[in-house]
Chain A
């Protein structure tokens, strides 16, 4: 249970890190290490070079801007969950972080690391999916913005190129009269979720849903935005019957199972969790 040998690099600036990413072969970027280190201890991953972003202070920030909340990729989960700005500008993140790992791992785990790792049971990628967060990737040749919808390339795989590093996550503006909730089911609290659902709804003054955002984790190898259900909800009056029909639609979505949890079970969970997340999100709508 020891990693195979590698050369360790600790750049102090993003520019240095991008230089290393552009020139080194078989290199992995180390963020908080709460997923990559176990994989290296197991030797599932055996990089020749490890580029540790932990000393790059410019990548850890929480910014309240006119375009909405922007979070630096190396901001720890613990910093985000305790941030008053995040509580005000993107409370869904706080709700999601309640389920992430343990305090001992959230102290070091980062938002960027979790989003790039793309574990199907992880809460932060599902949240980024629901809000269609815009991810900024940097390389020596410049920066590009990637909508979350285009970010996953497959199971545990992002579409970042080997010379690119995720630097910022942009969660956009939080709408007026909106409420959000993150619900998941795990066998033990704080354990890996089998299925999770993130929801945000915005209402107009007459109680009509003007926007619904819904995403699920655990029904596919990557987070799934539930666009068809969002469309069912939009322009409708929020009601228990509407939530029930949305939940029934979630329980009828295609799902992939594995040896531990069948597709049928995951579908059923998706239905119940959609019901809970939407109900709670609607209760939380604030004027």
Chain B
């Protein structure tokens, strides 16, 4: 067993903590920082509920140790829109298209779509691209169609179905 002093920037704010080596990033966010928007589903990298952005790239927060995130920049669902502000366009579109029901998988879905939106850099995205990105997020309520419709609405050039 070892403990480590770490500094992690989460949603633009630097946090310094001393953590056990075995604490994973999802538990760190939820238990140490109180950021419970990152949900924990399977804890073995299958469901995608805990998806966050690490230096801008999606990652399973349950498959990364908090100590591995030392010095990194993490974005979680709490940082996507201001607490008292309007929803992010991805969130608003998911709401409009009924892209969520119970909401458990939704934070991970939003982070995945956020990465897709940033990576496409304005280039057209097809329905196949969207479905491929969302294959890493399990949803047992919606059947995905609402999420796909939401993404098709907000992502560039994605209005024709692939």
State whether the Cβ of B154 lies closer than 8 Å to any Cβ in chain A. no
B44 contacts A5, C-beta separation under 8 Å: no
State the Cβ distance, B16 to closest chain A Cβ, in Å: 17
State whether the Cβ of B68 lies closer than 8 Å to any Cβ in chain A. yes
Query: For the complex, what is the distance from the CA of A104 to the CA of B50, rounded to whole Å?
Result: 10
Specify which of A3, A78, A102, A108 is in contact with B136 (CB 8 Å cutoff): A102
Query: For the complex, what is the distance from the CA of A7 to the CA of B20, rounded to whole Å?
Result: 9
* Max count, chain B CB within 10 A of own CB: residue among A37, A38, A102: A102
Contacts of A190 in B (CB 8 A): 132, 135-136
State whether the Cβ of B76 lies closer than 8 Å to any Cβ in chain A. no
Specify which of A2, A6, A52, A102 is in contact with B135 (CB 8 Å cutoff): A102
Contacts of B44 in A (CB 8 A): 1, 37-38, 41-42
B51 contacts A8, C-beta separation under 8 Å: no
Segment touching A, from B52-60, B83-91, B92-100? B52-60
State the Cβ distance, B46 to closest chain A Cβ, in Å: 8
State whether the Cβ of B64 lies closer than 8 Å to any Cβ in chain A. yes
State whether the Cβ of A154 lies closer than 8 Å to any Cβ in chain B. no
Taking Cβ atoms with an 8 Å cutoff, the residues of A that contact B are 1-8, 10, 33-34, 37-38, 41-42, 50, 52, 54, 78, 101-105, 107-108, 188-190
Nearest residue, chain B, Cβ from A2: B22
State whether the Cβ of B35 lies closer than 8 Å to any Cβ in chain A. no
State whether the Cβ of B160 lies closer than 8 Å to any Cβ in chain A. no
State whether the Cβ of B67 lies closer than 8 Å to any Cβ in chain A. yes
Taking Cβ atoms with an 8 Å cutoff, the residues of B that contact A are 1-2, 4, 20-22, 24, 27, 43-45, 48, 51, 54, 57-60, 62-65, 67-68, 112, 115, 132-133, 135-137
Contacts of A104 in B (CB 8 A): 48, 51, 58-60, 112, 136-137
Starting from the known contacts A6-B21, A7-B21, 8 additional A-B residue pairs (CB-CB under 8 Å) come to A2-B43, A7-B2, A8-B67, A34-B60, A103-B115, A104-B58, A108-B63, A190-B136
Q: List 15 A-B contacts (CB under 8 A).
A: A4-B22, A5-B20, A5-B22, A7-B1, A8-B21, A10-B68, A33-B68, A34-B60, A42-B44, A50-B21, A52-B65, A103-B115, A103-B133, A107-B57, A189-B135
Specify which of B24, B27, B57, B63 is in contact with A78 (CB 8 Å cutoff): B57
Specify which of A1, A7, A103 is in contact with B58 (CB 8 Å cutoff): A103
Nearest residue, chain A, Cβ from B21: A8
Query: For the complex, what is the distance from the CA of A42 to the CA of B58, rounded to whole Å?
Result: 23
Specify which of A7, A38, A50, A103 is in contact with B63 (CB 8 Å cutoff): A38
B135 contacts A41, C-beta separation under 8 Å: no
B62 contacts A10, C-beta separation under 8 Å: no
Query: For the complex, what is the distance from the CA of A34 to the CA of B59, rounded to whole Å?
Result: 10
Contacts of B64 in A (CB 8 A): 33, 37, 108
Specify which of A7, A54, A105 is in contact with B60 (CB 8 Å cutoff): A105
Contacts of A2 in B (CB 8 A): 22, 24, 27, 43
B45 contacts A5, C-beta separation under 8 Å: no
Contacts of A6 in B (CB 8 A): 1-2, 21-22
B62 contacts A41, C-beta separation under 8 Å: yes
Query: For the complex, what is the distance from the CA of A1 to the CA of B21, rounded to whole Å?
Result: 15
State the Cβ distance, B153 to closest chain A Cβ, in Å: 21
Contacts of B59 in A (CB 8 A): 104, 107-108
B43 contacts A105, C-beta separation under 8 Å: no
